[in-house]
Amino acid sequence: MENRKEVYFDNSATTRVFDSVRDVMVEAMTSDYGNTSSRHMKGVEAERYIREAREEIAGSLKVKEKEIVFTSGGTESNNMALIGAAMAARRKGNHLITTCIEHASVYNTMSFLEEQGFRITYLPVDQDGIVSLDALREAICDDTILVSIMYVNNEMGAVEPVAEIGKLIKSIRPDIYFHVDAIQAYGKYVIRPKKEGIDLMSVSGHKIHGPKGVGFLYVDEKVRIKPIIFGGGQQKGMRSGTENVPGCAGLGMAVREIYKDHDERVERLYALKDRLVQGLSSLEGVTVHGRTGRDSAPQIVSAGFEGVRAEVLLHALEDRGIYVSSGSACSSNHPGVSGTLRGIGVRESLLDSTLRFSFGVFNTEDEVDYCLEVLRELLPVLRRYRRA
């Protein structure tokens, strides 16, 4: 077991940080450890990390620095965007639109808003997980105030036509806010919120080889949202609380690293994905869900394994040093069938037999080949065991 090969294919759950991220965080924790609200030099040094991180993020999106609000991660960003925007625009209407395949941090926040008297429309998706523009057009009405649609689905890697959605929304009613959960997209795509009609956008640090516990919300300067965390008025009152200086510093460094040689990094991810998809497709009783190739996100592969329970296969792979996911990490502690898989019409026999493989910048082709080799060995054995 000591020399066991270790293959981490669960990068959509979380990623190993870049060495440069670790180094800047240690520096911020041990040398420049001041509180940004302090007036002395230690506070000024800490504030520099926040400022530089904000500059890096704003530059990656081609937006203004004041439009970036640091949060504790993707879940808080989604909550802040949806609750904050809905409450601020309530006098204009009470109708919100989203899809049936959103992350739990959007779906459950929408459920909360429904309890507060808002009306929610959940748009269906096709077998590839793509939302219909016609369905969205029909759903928009006079009291619609917010549309929230994810950029990349976290379970199967479907890429929504965000720019077309933004254009459609603004052509019907420019005052409708468009929120995008870009947690699985940022770092994989070059995103330009101003060009794509995005008013609010959520991002999480630990999906891009940055630290856990930090993220940001892009808020267009024309958008009015109500804060959901109150206190000392940090970040211009948008999100009170002492800033997570090491986290923000690490996030800023991760953004710098992930967008360095970006095209090459993305091509490497697609090469790994193509290699895995080709290998999986050659195995008996294996179905790759949704689109593949350049029509899908570069880092996610979702596959159903006929006759094998996902949890059993996951642990069998783990015994061989391969780490994958049976769905969204944020909902893995709550057993139940994936809403995404039901949403795309996956047949009943595969609903509890699907695994997600997700890549990061540290993965290699040799790891993909090893994973396929292990699957070829395990699947016949596990299927015989189940029939017995």
CA–CA separation, 307 vs 76, rounded Å?
38
Tokens 């892009």: give the residue: 218
Output the six-digit token pair for 301.
């592969």
CA–CA separation, 287 vs 277, rounded Å?
10
Instruction: Tell me what percent of the chain is helix, strand and coil, each rounded to the nearest 5.
Output: 45, 15, 40
Q: Residue 46: how many CB atoms within 10 A of its CB?
A: 24
Which among 100, 141, 330, 371 is annotated as catalytic? 330
Query: Is 100 among the residues known to form the active site?
Result: no
Angle between helices 245-258 and 19-30 (to 10 degrees): 160
> Side chain identity at 91, as an amino acid letter?
R
Alpha helices in the chain (DSSP H): 19-30, 41-61, 74-88, 104-115, 133-139, 162-172, 193-196, 245-258, 262-281, 310-319, 339-343, 348-351, 365-387
Alpha helices in 287-364 (DSSP H): 310-319, 339-343, 348-351
- β-strands 119-123, 95-99 pairing: parallel
Angle between helices 74-88 and 104-115 (to 10 degrees): 30
Output the six-digit token pair for 89.
């625009």
CA–CA separation, 216 vs 130, rounded Å?
26
CA–CA separation, 232 vs 370, rounded Å?
52
Q: Single out the residue of 6, 147, 158 nearest to residue 81, CA to CA.
A: 147
CA–CA separation, 327 vs 357, rounded Å?
9
Active-site residue set:
330
